[in-house]
Amino acid sequence: MAACKRGALIVLEGVDRAGKTTQCTKLVESFREVGRAAHLLRFPDRTTTIGKLISSYLENKSDLEDHTVHLLFSANRWELVPLMKKKLEEGTTLIIDRYAFSGVAFTSAKPDFSIEWCKAPDVGLPKPDLVLYLRLSPAAAAQRGEFGTERYETSGFQQRVEGRFEQLMDENSVNWQVVDASQSIDEVHDNIKRLSLSALTAAEDRPIAELWR
Ligand code: ADP
Ligand code: 2DT
């Protein structure tokens, strides 16, 4: 009997209001419409014990030392790895709203944090088969509404984060695809859907790889 084909691990990254959440939801629906199992995850997952500590920090209800919160964001991914592997091996594609790349981009945008230090705790996580970077200028993002009130939601910090994402994308060990997020929701979706279905075809007969290793 032929072994069951695995699902693909697809990550959406980008700055605030680039459309990640909108597109993740639409992508899961599209996979299901073509008969492929798909499941949506987001990081941070604020529902776990670790996720609640992170959520309180992001809402400015508590303070955490910068290295400590970075490691908590990473731990919040590691705690989901058994579930992620199980779903992928069952043939379910995972669509993930933010992953380790947000972890590195946000912490390394703080003073005195190197990209190298920031990557270390996430080395060995399940490696995405595709990372879609929704690129949007700060001016276009501003037209989509005001910043919220959470930590990191200021234009100066978001600009530094954007610079870090651009640096991370120079690495060719990760399958980055840049999508112009200034197009209409349907146009962005059509691009993302095409890239994602072809990533699934390429991934389904291959083992799950390890990130940054
Ligand atoms: P993110 O998860 O990246 O912060 P969201 O998906 O929550 O972004 O979208 C932020 C806001 O922008 C929402 O009000 C959403 O309806 C709107 N939006 C998303 N994509 C587009 C688009 N392509 N064009 C115009 N508005 C968009
Ligand atoms: P949203 O829930 O609105 O996406 O905001 N972040 C995220 C980090 O600093 N490190 C991480 O590892 C991850 C996944 C990005 C979550 C905020 O938390 C930041 C914005």
Backbone φ and ψ for 169, nearest 5 degrees, come out as -70, -15
* Atom 10 in ligand 2: residue holding the nearest Cα: 103
Backbone φ and ψ for 181, nearest 5 degrees, come out as -85, 5
Has residue 41 got a pLDDT over 70?
yes
What pairing do the DSSP bridges indicate for beta strands 9-14 and 176-180? unpaired
**76/24 Cα distance (integer angstroms):** 20
pLDDT tens digits, 125-156 = 999 999 999 999 888 988 999 989 999 999 99
**20/11 Cα distance (integer angstroms):** 9
Ligand 1 centroid – CA 199 distance (Å): 24
Which one of 42, 57, 58 would you pick to mutate in the ligand 2 pocket, going by the greatest count of ligand atoms within 8 A of its CB? 58
CB of residue 21 inside a 6 A radius of ligand 1: yes
pLDDT tens digits, 87-131 = 999 999 999 999 999 999 999 999 999 999 999 999 999 999 999
CB of residue 102 inside a 6 A radius of ligand 2: yes
- What's residue 186's pLDDT? 98
Which one of 11, 15, 16, 22 would you pick to mutate in the ligand 1 pocket, going by the greatest count of ligand atoms within 8 A of its CB? 22
* Secondary structure (H, E, C), 14-32: ECCCCCHHHHHHHHHHHHH
- What's residue 3's pLDDT? 66
> Nearest Cα to 140, choosing from 151, 155, 150?
155
Report pTM.
0.98
Has residue 2 got a pLDDT over 70?
no
pLDDT above 70 covers what percent of the chain?
A: 99
- Residue 181: alpha-carbon gap to chain centroid: 15
Q: Give strand pairing partners of 180.
A: 135
Ligand 1 centroid – CA 176 distance (Å): 21
CB of residue 184 inside a 6 A radius of ligand 1: yes
Q: What angle do CA 105, 11, 82 make, to 5 degrees?
A: 100
Question: What is the value of ipTM here, to two decimals?
Answer: 0.98
**126/176 Cα distance (integer angstroms):** 15
CB of residue 16 inside a 6 A radius of ligand 1: yes
Residue 205, burial from CB neighbour count under 10 angstroms (0-12, 13-18, 19+): exposed
Kindly give the number of the ligand 2 atom that is closest to the alpha carbon of 97. Answer: 4
pLDDT tens digits, 58-91 = 999 999 999 999 999 999 999 999 999 999 999 9
